[in-house]
Structure 1
Amino acid sequence: MRTFAIGDIHGGFKALIQVLNQLELTEEDQLIFMGDYVDGWSEAAQVIDFLIDFSKKFTCVFIKGNHDVWCENWLKDKNDVNPSWYLHGGKETMDSYAVFSKEDKEAHLAFFEALQMYHLDNENRLFLHAGFTSMHGVEKESYPHKFCTDRTLWEMAMALDKNIEVTANNYPKRLQHYHEIYIGHTPTTNYNEAYPMNAANIWNVDTGAAFKGKITAMNIETKAFFQSDSLPDLYPNEKGRN
């Protein structure tokens, strides 16, 4: 069985299909989607519709991202339009639902409500959208919204002395709980890097699909990765996220 971590999608349906086609999936494979399925490009609702059907054929784990929280709230209550969400991809997501029925929207809401905040596998590998703040691990996190929004975990790993031993007294306790940690949320393109990045035992697979980057799928055993075309090339008449 192969397991793939799929980075942020942000409404880039065309790019998602490109990546999945490269994987040559079998029924034994598992896919862990790292969240932020919506907001950015024009096919957010199409992404959700596809993933619902896709999960009937393949083993999938769906993690919840911060943009998914906003969309879920809007699907529950059409008057709940977070101003920040609207300006950062929400408008495009709302527009993508114009051709979807009430029944479709209810099915999509159920999809969002069922998303996991994090996933821990049998090899002690942790998957979550953003990060966590508790030095005791995710089960002791006092602020569950941090799973969708925290950037300090990644920033800490990036700033860590590469020569420090895991057993050192000053090695961050947060990182000692898990064999590996997989995240999205903070685009690697922020660091002028187009590919997945590794810092300490954390792998960041958000390669900037919301902006000018690509969608990435990583084989978590081999670390081989597969990427779509750049999203602006696939949606030349759109701007994506600002």
Structure 2
Amino acid sequence: MGRTLVIGDIHGGLKGLIQLFERAEVSTEDKLIFLGDYVDGWSESAQVIDYLMLLEKSHQCIFIKGNHDAWCIDWLQKGIVDDVWFVHGGKLTIESYKDISDTIRQKHLDFFEQMHDYYVDRQNNLFIHAGFSSMHGPEKERYSSNYSWDRTLWEMALTMDNRIKKDSAIYPKRLLLYHEIYIGHTPTLYYNVKVPMQGCNVWNIDTGAAFTGKLSCLDIKTKQFWQSDTLQSLYPNEKGRNK
């Protein structure tokens, strides 16, 4: 059996993804779970999608949809250019598609639309881009946008007093629903941390590849992780995403 590797937010950094896979020595035996935000940031968003579509043919992949992917879907599908999206990486994503045919754009749209809002494996581990607010899990979430936007789950896990045990009546019910939870969305750089972070049973794999950080993947069994170089060093003539 191969490993289960969970990959953080890529944000158009194809060079970082290729380098990361080389360093992690990814093989066809490995199961790859991507936490979303494939686009917006560096200049190769369309090329990242091309790469992932090819990867899916040779590897076992699970693709989670992020908030930036949802914005990109609106643009590809309806031509909607959200003002916030445009200044937070959307401009570079649009530029990456300038030489892409309508046929390929439709294939990319089909790929985006088949992505998961979240995924639960046989060991009852949850993989989701951002989080959920329902006490009964994401399947009971009232607003599906929480899958790609919610930060309360991570904030709660990060600030939990570790003296509170799981069998305590005040232990957060959301954290008891799953063995472990893997998220992206909130860069660890916000906490001056450059590697994957853990809060209770929640693991954050977004190490800020969109900004000044690196792209990361983690083996969910051993917790060994690998990282690319900083995306800034791989794209020296670009600025990446605005905060």
TM bucket (normalised to shorter chain) is over 0.9
- The separation in 1 between residues aligned to 2:207 and 2:81, in whole angstroms, is 27
Match of 2:9 in 1: 8
**3-state DSSP class of the match of 1:32?**
strand
Which amino acid letter does the alignment assign opposite residue 175 of structure 1? Answer: L
Q: Secondary structure at the match of 1:136?
A: coil
Displacement of 1:143 in angstroms is: 1.1
Aligned-partner Cα distance in 2 for 1:24–1:228 = 12
Letter in 2 for 1:173: K
Match of 2:43 in 1: 42
Q: Distance in 2 between matches of 1:91 and 1:145?
A: 22
| Distance in structure 2 (CA, Å) of the matches to 1:162 and 1:111 | 41
Q: Provide the residue aligned with 1:57 in structure 2.
A: 58
Structure 2 counterpart of 1:99: 99
Post-superposition CA distance 1:168-217 (Å, at most 9, x none): 00000100000000000000010000000000000000000110001001
Partner of 1:134: 134
The corresponding residue for 1:115 is 115
Q: For residue 186 of structure 2, what is the aligned residue in structure 1? A: 186
Secondary structure of the corresponding residue to residue 57 of structure 2: coil
1:150 aligns with 2:150: yes
Q: Please list the CA deviations of residues 39-70 of structure 1 after superposition, one character each: whole Å capped at 9, or x if unmatched.
A: 01000000000000011000000000000000
Secondary structure of the structure 1 residue equivalent to 2:19 = helix
TM-score of the pair, normalised by structure 1? 0.98
Quote how far apart the aligned CAs of 1:27 are: 2.3
> Which AA in structure 2 matches 1:72?
I
Aligned residues: 241
Matches within 5 A, 1:199-238: 199-238=199-238
| TM-score of the two chains, using structure 2 as the length reference | 0.98
**Percent of aligned pairs with the same amino acid:** 57
Aligned to 1:160: 160
- The offset of 1:114, in angstroms, is 0.4
Q: Deviations over 1:122-167 (max 9, x none)?
A: 0000000000000111121111110000000000011110111011
**What SS class does the counterpart of residue 218 from structure 2 fall into?**
strand
Gaps of 5+ in 1: none
CA shift for structure 1 position 23 = 2.2
State the distance in 2 between where 1:177 and 1:139 align: 12
CA distance in 2, matches of 1:116, 1:192: 30
Q: Whole-Å Cα distance in 1 between the matches of residues 223 and 107 of structure 2?
A: 34
Letter in 1 for 2:59: F
